[in-house]
Amino acid sequence: MAVTAKNISRNEFFLGHKACAGCGASLAVRIALKTLGERAVATLPAGCMSAVGFNFPQLAFANNAIISTFAGTASMMTGIAAGLRRRGEKDVAVVGFAGDGGTADIGIQALSGAIDRNDDILYICYDNEAYMNTGIQKSSLTPFGAATTTTPAGRNIRGNPGKKKNMFAIVAAHGIPYAATASVGYILDYARKVEKAARIRGTKYIHVLAPCPTGWGYDVADTVEIAREAVDCGLWPLQEFEAGEFRLNRKPGNIAGVKDYLKRQGRFRHLTDADMERIAKPEGDR
Amino acid sequence: MSRQFISGNDAFALGILLAKPAVISAYPITPQTTVVERLSEYVESGELDAEFIHVESEHSALSCAIGASAAGVRTFTATSSQGLLYMAECLPYAAGGRYPIVMMNANRAIALPWNIYGDQSDSLSQLACGWIQAYAEDAQEALDFALMSYYIAEHPQVAVPFMVNLDGFHITHTYEIVDVPTREQADAFLPPYETENRIDFARPKNMAFSAGPGHNKIFRRNHHKAMLRSSEVIVECESRFAEFFGRRYSGLVDAYKTDDAEFVLVTLGSVAGLARDAADELRGQGAKAGVLRLRYMRPFPEEAIRKALAGAKAVAVLEKDISPGKGGAVFAEVSGVCESVRLNAIGGLGGEDISKESLRSVFAMLAEGKEGELWL
């Protein structure tokens, strides 16, 4: 049965943590664990969610959870899955929650290895588009033009000169059994992808856009709205890759909304019209 | 028990086969590679009922082993040299989490300059990482360490990971006659791994967490105490081992004619046999020479060294590593517990042979009252 707002578990597995108000990533972790239930084992590398969730003696996970090394999310999950299999544990969801830097930069080697082995794990990348936990430094998933503390917007450089790495395509290129993009703005779509992934054997990857008011520069009440706009304007299409086929889940409705999306975030405040047009062009850098 | 003519790597792999780890993760690196080749053959043939995981790096090898150990099963990995350094981040991670992983390290030089041959620079650079560190002298001891290491590491009073070091090529690739225990003997000696420090669905746990100032100290101190306690468990384990297999080991050190020795050479690993030969020759000429082999660097055999060197006039430390700007790591540690330590002999770097003549000259220099550093 597909998960809905009415039937989703009332149990909370991630609570009492220290995430910022309006944190998109904590929403992604919370909803995934509610969907997966008490047989989930969560692995989190260094990053926002481990920093806010594992401060002894204030431990915020009600299910089994462990911090991995920064680069070692997927490799630790491989070991956990193997160990639990050897203990005869069945119906277990070995799930990982790593940020954009933990996934696309330092953790990509281990992730690629796990997909290559087709280990039975669900890897969720919560993408807030920079190293937020350490103070908003650029990652390879920071979009073009975004100001971060290591790509400041000044007279000579206008934010990040590079573009956002396409992790979804990279993961799909491995021939993974299941991959999807999602957004905390479309939370049921996300929860259903988590639910579907949990039923598939082998490696699964979900890349969920998780806006960060602290790093992006918008009001803490607007996280879900911003996360929806990113999808609606076409910058973050909701897609799936399953059994070798790509599928677009939702047709972007408002391509013209790109400028509005950019303008309401402090990190893009310095962009010129030309910059914004470059971002809006489907073939352009993102 | 069967007698086999095999390499140190093969002997160690047989020991691991007998210890029955449930999960093995490994990445190839010379001169360790044949250990994991043997183990994958055992898994293929069905002799070993384990999951063999081909990881993409040494960092992942140990990260994966930590995950499997956190799931509550016996785990093995192996590495060498650059591989050990590449996984270095995971070393204190495994130790701080108190996961009793066993790892074989084939001691090998570290780059630069590139060199695939044996020395002990790799493991001696990681003394502070929180692992038990043992150094085998030959293939038999390597096999025996493979069995004993799990007993010690998994002991409830210890619960720290265990690194067994084999001199690259000198032990790993040298063929020797080895007594191989039977499956029944090994099963009787080594109990199955049981722990509460694991993922548990009845009592869910948050593991490998952060601990701020105040708490941090408590976890670190507990770890330190467990390492110190492991000295007693090592002795207990060796008595048990002797009962089952008839081979008796001597605790943290192996002292050879040190009781009345005036001049003692302290060393570790495979060169100890040659050192004993040199000492015997000198004794034939009237010099009271002895050899102290350190079987363990962690826990550090402080008491045993002090006792063995109590009557020595002058002591030299021979080691296959150099900490540039200081000297040998072992020399620094042994000097801290014995005032008679005079000479630091640095030898065998990058696989260079150490001759008996050079060891005789070390003893001769001790007798002449020489001090300082000596490059063989």
User: In the listed set B194, B219, B245, which residue is the last one of a domain according to the structure?
Assistant: B245
A68: chain B residues, CB-CB within 8 Å: 63, 66-67, 208
For residue B146, what are its two tokens? 């493979």
Q: Does residue A283 have a pLDDT over 80?
A: no
Q: Does residue B156 have a pLDDT over 70?
A: yes
CB-nearest to B90 from A39, A72, A113 is A72
Interface membership of B375 toward A (CB under 8 Å): no
The answer to whether residues B173 and B287 belong to one domain is no
> How many C-beta atoms lie closer than 10 Å to residue B173's C-beta?
18
The answer to whether residues B177 and B280 belong to one domain is no
CB-nearest to B68 from A63, A83, A109 is A83
pLDDT of residue B49: 98
pLDDT of residue A1: 67
Residues B31-58 pLDDT 10s? 999 999 999 999 999 999 999 999 999 9
The answer to whether residues B286 and B305 belong to one domain is yes
Contact across the interface for A76 and B22, Cβ inside 8 Å: no
Contact across the interface for B199 and A80, Cβ inside 8 Å: yes
Q: Write the CATH number for A236.
A: 3.40.50.970
CA of A237 to nearest chain B CA: how many angstroms apart? 31
B57: chain A residues, CB-CB within 8 Å: 109-110, 113
Interface membership of B201 toward A (CB under 8 Å): yes
Pick among B63, B217, B222 to test the A interface (most A CBs inside 10 A)? B63
**Overall average pLDDT of the B103-109 stretch:** 98
> What value does the mean pLDDT of chain A take?
95
Q: Does residue B8 have a pLDDT over 70?
A: yes
In a domain, A186, yes or no: yes
Strand partners, B210: A55
What CA–CA distance (Å, rounded) separates A76 from A207?
19
A56: chain B residues, CB-CB within 8 Å: 209-212, 215
The answer to whether residues B236 and B272 belong to one domain is no
Considering Cα of B206, then B211, then B212, then B218, what sign does the dihedral take? positive
Interface membership of B199 toward A (CB under 8 Å): yes
> How many C-beta atoms lie closer than 10 Å to residue A51's C-beta?
18
**Overall average pLDDT of the B75-90 stretch:** 98
pLDDT of residue A125: 98
Q: Does residue A269 have a pLDDT over 80?
A: yes
Residues A32-71 pLDDT 10s? 999 999 999 999 999 999 999 999 999 999 999 999 999 9
In a domain, A169, yes or no: yes
The answer to whether residues B240 and B112 belong to one domain is yes
The answer to whether residues B109 and B217 belong to one domain is yes
pLDDT of residue A285: 47
Residue A249 DSSP label: -
Q: Does residue B190 have a pLDDT over 70?
A: yes
What CA–CA distance (Å, rounded) separates B358 from B375?
10
The answer to whether residues B323 and B216 belong to one domain is no
pTM: 0.97
The answer to whether residues B113 and B229 belong to one domain is yes
The answer to whether residues B218 and B261 belong to one domain is no
In which residue are the tokens 């696309």 written?
A104
CA of B240 to nearest chain A CA: how many angstroms apart? 28
Residues B248-267 pLDDT 10s? 999 999 999 999 999 999 99
The amino acid that residue A155 corresponds to is R
Interface membership of A3 toward B (CB under 8 Å): no
Q: What is the largest CA-CA distance in chain B?
A: 69
Q: Does residue A258 have a pLDDT over 80?
A: yes
For residue B317, what are its two tokens? 């430390």
Contact across the interface for B59 and A72, Cβ inside 8 Å: yes
Q: How many domains does chain A have?
A: 1
In a domain, A103, yes or no: yes
A-B CB pairs within 8 A amount to: 155
**Overall average pLDDT of the A271-276 stretch:** 93
Alpha-carbon dihedral of residues A138, A141, A146, A150, nearest 10 degrees? 10
The answer to whether residues B170 and B280 belong to one domain is no
**Overall average pLDDT of the A10-36 stretch:** 97
Q: Write the CATH number for B295.
A: 3.40.50.920
The answer to whether residues B274 and B230 belong to one domain is no
Residues B264-298 pLDDT 10s? 999 999 999 999 999 999 999 999 999 999 999 99
> What value does the mean pLDDT of chain B take?
97
Contacts of A29 (CB under 8 A, 6+ apart): A14, A42, A49, A53, A97, A126
Interface membership of B267 toward A (CB under 8 Å): no
Contacts of B153 (CB under 8 A, 6+ apart): B100, B101, B102, B132, B159, B160, B161, B162
ipTM of the complex: 0.97
CB-nearest to B64 from A51, A61, A79 is A79
pLDDT of residue A253: 77
pLDDT of residue B272: 98
B137: exposed, middle or buried (C-beta count within 10 Å: 0-12, 13-18, 19+)? Answer: buried
Range of the domain at B119: 2-245
Q: Does residue A284 have a pLDDT over 50?
A: no
pLDDT of residue B351: 97
User: In the listed set B226, B245, B264, which residue is the last one of a domain according to the structure?
Assistant: B245
The answer to whether residues B224 and B273 belong to one domain is no
The amino acid that residue B352 corresponds to is E
Q: Are B29 and B61 in contact (CB under 8 A)?
A: no
In a domain, A14, yes or no: no
Residues A143-182 pLDDT 10s? 999 999 999 999 898 999 999 999 999 999 999 999 999 9
User: In the listed set B224, B245, B266, which residue is the last one of a domain according to the structure?
Assistant: B245
What CA–CA distance (Å, rounded) separates A150 from A160?
9
Q: How many domains does chain B have?
A: 2
Interface membership of A84 toward B (CB under 8 Å): yes
**Overall average pLDDT of the B3-12 stretch:** 98
CA of B312 to nearest chain A CA: how many angstroms apart? 47
**Overall average pLDDT of the B316-336 stretch:** 97
pLDDT of residue A286: 47
Interface membership of B147 toward A (CB under 8 Å): no
Range of the domain at A168: 24-280
B61: chain A residues, CB-CB within 8 Å: 75
In a domain, A6, yes or no: no
Q: Are A201 and A120 in contact (CB under 8 A)?
A: yes
In which residue are the tokens 């089952």 written?
B244
